Amino acid sequence: MLSFFFEVRCLSKRIVSIFIIIIINCNLIACDANKKQRHEIEFFMLFDTVTQVVAYTETKEEFDNLSSIIYNSLKEYHELFDIYNNYENLNNLKTINDNAGIAAVKVNREIIDLLNFAKQEYENSDGLCNIALGSVLRIWHEYREYGIEFPESSSLPTMEELKFAAQHTDINNIIIDEKSSTVYLADAQMSLDVGAIAKGFATERVCQLAIKKGVTSALVSVGGNVRAIGSKYRNGEPWNVGIQNPNKEHSKKIIYTTLLDNKSLVTSGDYQRYYIVDGKRYGHVIDPKTLMPAENFKSVTIICEDSAKADSLSTIVYNMPFEEGFRYINDIPDTEAIWVLQDDTIKCSDNFEDYIMK
């Protein structure tokens, strides 16, 4: 058994270190009984992170076709869901934010689908996943970036400025006109931030496109949002994906190795995007109820089929106390979770062990 450990260093301020562990049963050069070769490729910058594609194919041409499908489709979603940059002849989420309180913006169907999914997740979670929280998240982003750049001067936002921004986070002010394919933000001071769902949503859509084009086996990771298309081999052997220990000082780097077959795995945690104020770590997942970084866990990992759902659930459950999140996950069919508490205690949902390599 060979273990492949990919470590990608920061490429820009918004690109965090990604640690994905893919454990492959193979001979010296990865290959199976059918003589398929293991191929992998990395794309940089899309969604301000690193995308990895791994597959076993009979020819390099077959893999190149697969990676081209993934890259081209993911690039489209990256541009559509971008809240920081404009693109020529394209209305995206930044265009919507820029026109808040001014005008409705005609957009592609993919944006409307994303927003409808986000509204559904908001209702399902009693507001714990809120893409309308952009005005609050922008404040935290600015303080975090400054604190990382100038750690000796790092500080926290005041509750006054956070509460003022929170007055402009009503998701009902996102007005979607399905017929005309437009989106209007009725509050001029609100803004969208889809960081809790965009990568997962795009990953799922991209993989579904690949499946429609005949891809039956691949492993796609977009900044740690992992989606397994089928199994690793024709004999049904699942993909092996390790869950990183959020305690970087611990000698055990992997908590568990999971077995994925047509499943997604997404983790939210406080160990990659954070900054330090007066010796205390403040992560990037903000609880909409307290307007402060959630502190219950070091990480929460979700396994389910749909990557968009896994992405949103990892944020929702991260913002819940354990007992509440445990009940919430166990009520959702074919969905499992693992929690790493602040004292490094590990807790699992009822059937999570079904996905663990024994």
Q: For the residues of 20-41, what is the DSSP string, one character each?
A: EEEEE--SSS-B-TT-PEEEEE
Distance CA 2, CA 48 (A): 29
Position 234 scores a pLDDT of: 67
- Does the structure show a pLDDT above 60 at 1? no
- Does the structure show a pLDDT above 60 at 41? yes
Where does the pLDDT of residue 325 fall: very low under 50, low under 70, confident under 90, or very high at 90 and above? very high
- Does the structure show a pLDDT above 70 at 9? no
Whether this prediction's pTM lies above 0.85 is answered by yes
The mean pLDDT of 319-344, rounded to a whole number, is 97
Which pLDDT tens digit goes with each residue over 85-113? 999 999 999 999 999 999 999 999 999 99
- Does the structure show a pLDDT above 50 at 20? no
Position 220 scores a pLDDT of: 97
Which pLDDT tens digit goes with each residue over 111-146? 999 999 999 999 999 999 999 999 999 999 999 999
Q: Which residue segments constitute the domains of the chain, with CATH numbers given?
A: 93-185 (1.10.3980.10)
Position 34 scores a pLDDT of: 55
Q: What is the DSSP letter of 180?
A: T
Q: What is the DSSP letter of 16?
A: P
Please name which of 15, 13, 69, 81 lies closest in space to residue 223, comparing C-alpha atoms. 15
